[in-house]
Every structure is written in C-alpha cells, then in structure tokens.
Chains A and B, each alone.
Chain A
Amino acid sequence: MDSRLHMGIRSGVALELEALHKRYGDYVAVESVDLRADPGEFLTLLGPSGSGKTTTLNMIAGFVTPSSGRIQLDGGKIDHLPPHKRNIGMVFQHYALFPHMTAFENVAFPLKQRKCGGAEIRTRVLEALELVGLGDRAHSYPRQLSGGQQQRVALARAIVFRPSLLLMDEPLGALDRQLREHMQMEIKRIHVELGITFVYVTHDQEEALTMSDRVAIFNNGRIEQVGTASDVYDRPRTLFAAEFLGESNSLSVARTCQPGIAVVAGLDVPVRLPEDTQMPAGDGATVVIRPERLRAMPAGLERSPGTNALRGVVQRVVYLGSARRVDVEVSPWIHLSVREQSGMWSPVQKGDAVDIGWHPGDSVLLEQRTAPAIVTGAA
C-alpha cells in the first residue's frame, strides 16, 4: 500500500441528481431520476441492458445533456460545465485508452491537461500505475496489454488527477470470471484507499451486491429502488427489483383478510407475513420469497407452529455445484423453487410429495400483481 497517495487527495464529494430526464425524440431513455451519493460512498447503478445506466452516467460526466433536471456536486450545480471542466474521473466499458500512447503517456494525459510539471507527472503516474499493480508495464502500448491490464491502465488514468468523483461504466464487462472477481477486489481496495465517491454501473447483480454501499436498481429509465445490498435483496419494493436481484418465488394474493395474513390465489391457503407489513389498500398483491429461505421436507412431518407451509410434488432437482435447486409444483399454476446449500440437502427426491415451509418474516408483500398468466390461470 502506498501511503503517499493519500496526501493531497480530497475525500469524496456528494453527488445529487434531481428529476433527471433524457429524451431522444419520443423515446425516454432516463425518466425522473432522483439519486444521491454521499461523500466517499460506493453507489452502484444496476439494471438490465437499455435501462438508462450509461445515459445517466454520461449526463453526470457531461457527455450527454439532460433534457431536464439538475446535477449537483457538493451542492454546486455542474450542468452548465463542459466535460473537461467537471474534474470527474470516468472509466469506460471499452476502456478508451489512446492507442498511440504508452500506458505511462495515457496516465500522464490528464496531468498534462492540468499543466503539471514533468517531475510531478512522473511521480504521480508511477504511483497510480503502482496502485493498480502495473508499475512494470509503464512503457507498453495498450495493444501489448491484456484486457485486464488495459482496464487497470484506464483505472489509473481516471484516478491519477485525484477527482473527487469516479464514474465506472461496466468496467469489468469484458473480463473472464476469475479476473473479474480479482478486479472487483482491487477496485474495492482502491475505493477504500482513495476515499472518493464511486458511481459504478453494472448489470451483474452479484457484482452489485458484493461491492456497493448502496445499489440503485434501474428499469426502463426509472429507478425502482435504492438501498443497501441487504435492503434491496431481502426487502425488495417492486416485483422487478425482486426478480432482477437473483431468483425469487412469487405467489399472487387473492385477498388479504386480516393484518399479517394473505390468501394465495387459486389455493385458498393463508400465508403469514412479517408483523410490520403494511396491508395493501387496492387489490392485487404478490408475496415474494427467496428460494434459499424455503425448506422442503417430506410431506406429513410435523412442522413448527407459526411457519407457513404449502404442499406440492417435486418435479425436478437441479444440481448447481455449491447448492441444489428443488422445483416443486404446488398447483398447475404455482411453482416454487427451493435452494439447498450443499451439505444441507433434505431427503426429498423427484416425484416425492413435499411440504414447503418458511418463516413468515422471510416473505415480502408487494402491492403489485405478479405475471398475468398465473393470475388468470388461478382465477
């Protein structure tokens, strides 16, 4: 670790997006995005392809002009500034290294624009390359470097001028799994070391959950939910958020009779919900449970009081390496998946009748109907 790097580095800034819109003709790429990143925070924008993540990042960096809305850094408006005056670091998905410059020259580029002296440039470039573990490749051209190394040069170039905000657009998209995981750790380490605000874009939910302080889930140009990893994973607020962040089971609800109880459509079975659940005012609701929160056990065994249970038949058992997935048909329209960590497998096999149980606290009630096909099927 290089302690010299800390010196002179301002800590992160607060970034604030207010009612940000971007329209391309009739097409709305980003719609009323309100988002705040605290100083030094690692904020991730997560969403499927075309959900407006890059557009949002480009508006922050100044490459795309918002149709309306405001962008502020530490309370100061930056909307009117051209990209070269914003002093924001950016790592592109395609790296965007200058092919005619060596790694050293690439990293020196932002310093030259800031009229730093030769000696200062030298020390700072070498420090930055050292930080990303490329001190020995300073004089290689981008084409002589591997994808991961090019990515590190891009990272070094984006932090060498000590920006107080660093934007990264799917920086690991092109790397293989092992290198990806390694780079994820490197990026986290650099984040801790520099203490600046990071806004990170990815469509990989695992990456988002492991790296971020908070995650903003994008869908169709809108933010579905913002929160810590466990907030968005364990307490999704929309069906989209629940389904995009890993696997989930959804049960559509016929009615809610009393506080804390919902009746599953098509089954007439009551399901207990967490005690603090707000019961929906309108009709149409869904109960969502993560597969790893479900337990499968042979039908007819006694279950602990207060838990929920549904009976079904095992249709398929899928081996996943570190776990296995048991697919259970509860009714022709209701299928549940149970995820069992290896070593904790229940004694059920394909074709067995099973009881699926879970703790009421593990269900989440959403005021949204699940996929219409199931609802009409159950009606």
Chain B
Amino acid sequence: MALLAPVGLFLLAFFAYPMAKILALSFSSEASGLSLENYVWFFETSVNIKVLLRTFTTAMIVTLVCVLVGYPYAYLMTVVGTRWRALLLILALIPFWTSLMTRNLAWLALLQPSSTIATITRKLGFGELQLLGTVAGVVVAMSQILLPFMVLPMYATLRNIDRRLLAAAEGLGARPSVAFVRVYLPLSAPGVVAGSLLVFVLSLGFYLTPAIIGSPQNSLLSQLIVTQVSRVLNWGHAGAMAMVLLLVTVVLIWLASLATRRNAALTSSGERS
C-alpha cells in the first residue's frame, strides 16, 4: 500500500484535480455561482451540435478505416514466419517512435496539391483530389497515425486463436471461407472491439491533425474547445464541451465492455492444449 502512495499522489495532482476543476468550471457562470448555463449554451448553439456530430462521424470513419486496414495486417502477422512478423511489427510500431508533429507535417506535405500523390492521382484520372483542408484528408492522416492502436490489440487477440479450429471446422463440412466467418471471426471480436475502442476514443479528442490538415470550416470538437479557451477565453463553455465529450466517451467504453465481457471470458480460458 505504501508503495502505491506516490502513484496515488501523482494521479490526484495531475488527473483528479484538473478533472474536478474542469467539472467545476463547466457548472460555473460569471454572474451567479452554480448554473447549467454553459450546457444550455452548448446544446442551443447549432454549430456546436454540428461539430459534435462531425466529430463522431469522423471518429467512426477513422475507426472503420483502421479496422479494414488493421485486420488484414494483424492477420498477416499471425501467418507469416518469425522474420516477416518482426518486420511487420516494427513497421507497425514506427509511428510510435516518431513525434506526432513530424507525422502531421509529413501528411501536410504529402497532401499538398503539388505533391507527388496529387500528381499521380491526377494522371490516373481521379481528377483533382481535394484532401487538404477537408474531412477526407483528416481521416486519411488520422487513420495512419492511429493504426498502431488498432493493430496491436488485434494482433494480441488473433495470435491466440487456435488455427487448428479452422481445420476442425473444415473437417466438419465447412468451406474454408465459412470456417473463417463462423469460427475465426467471432473469436477475433474481442481484439476488434478493443482496438476500435482505443482508436475511436483517441479520434474523438484528436486535436493536432485536424488543426494542421483540416480547416476551421471543418473543425472538430477539440478545435472548438481550444478556440473557447485561447481565443474567446470562455473557460465555462470549454469546460462544458469537454464534459460532454468525456461523458459520451465513458458511456461508450462502458457499453463496449459490457458487450465484450461475455465473449472475452469465454474465449480467454478456452481449451487450448
């Protein structure tokens, strides 16, 4: 217990206290003490709702892109030899070792109308692909940056799936594709949920990428919060926005954990001799 004290103190000082402070701010107003004023403002301002929805859609699309790219990637890692697996793992981890700023600036360069990518897509007849300053561009960059958070938990789950179960399913009359859908896919669900949750929650609060790649017209909630804090200097509004974001996130995590608990409990200790 004594060993936990420093950790407790640390959390208290740098997590609980700021949290409480923001919570207090969100319920305060300039005129009177305690009020719901900030929340009323939030839900009455149509721009806020619009941005909130855009934030959710963006996060969902980013999550979907990460699942679609991350699943085959993680799957590949489980079937290749040890050398290739190490290589794939390193490739997946590289983004962790480069600073977020560097990666965002790299995407900024890549998405310029004069960049090689733009030139190639133009030549291929895709026309003028407008990515910089759009939600699409933000999604592309965020997906790349968040991909490791999808791949790693997924790989951890897929790696533990007993591939002999697939052979068993085929022996029982299932075509290989059916065996995959009926046996492998359900067993991989906990990894998909864990990765999706991470990516989704991180996307909701992402600031740097939308700020650099996106545009003020297409801003996300985190940008709006920063605007309230640094330009408008309305801490109450910013607090209310942060609380809404936090609440939604917590509810989502709770729902997801409910959904996976049964599944994870069943597969984690399954027969695997």
Contacts and interface: CB of A to CB of B under 8 A. Distances in A.
Interface string A77-99: 00000111011111010111111
Interface residues of A, number: 31
Contact of B271 (A87, A90, A94, A114): A94
Given A92-B164, A94-B164, A94-B273, A99 B267 contact: yes
Interface string A199-210: 000000000000
Given A96-B162, A98-B165, A142-B271, A110 B172 contact: yes
B173 A114 contact: yes
B174 interface: yes
A95 B271 contact: yes
Nearest to B172: A110
Contacts of B170: 62-63, 82-84
B90 to A, nearest CB: 30
B18 interface: no
Residues of B in contact with A, size category: 20 to 34
Contacts of A99: 187, 266-267, 270-271
Nearest to A100: B186
Contacts of B169: 98, 109
B230 interface: no
B178 interface: yes
A141 interface: yes
A84 B270 contact: no
A356 interface: no
A87 B173 contact: yes
B167 interface: yes
Contacts of A88: 171
B11 interface: no
A113 interface: yes
Contacts of A141: 266
Contacts of A84: 170-176, 179
A23 interface: no
Nearest to B272: A94
A174 interface: yes
A96 B165 contact: yes
A21 interface: no
B144 interface: no
Interface string B103-124: 0000000000000000000000
Interface string A101-138: 00000000110011000000000000000000000000
Interface of B: 162, 164-165, 167-176, 178-179, 182-183, 186-187, 263, 266-267, 269-273
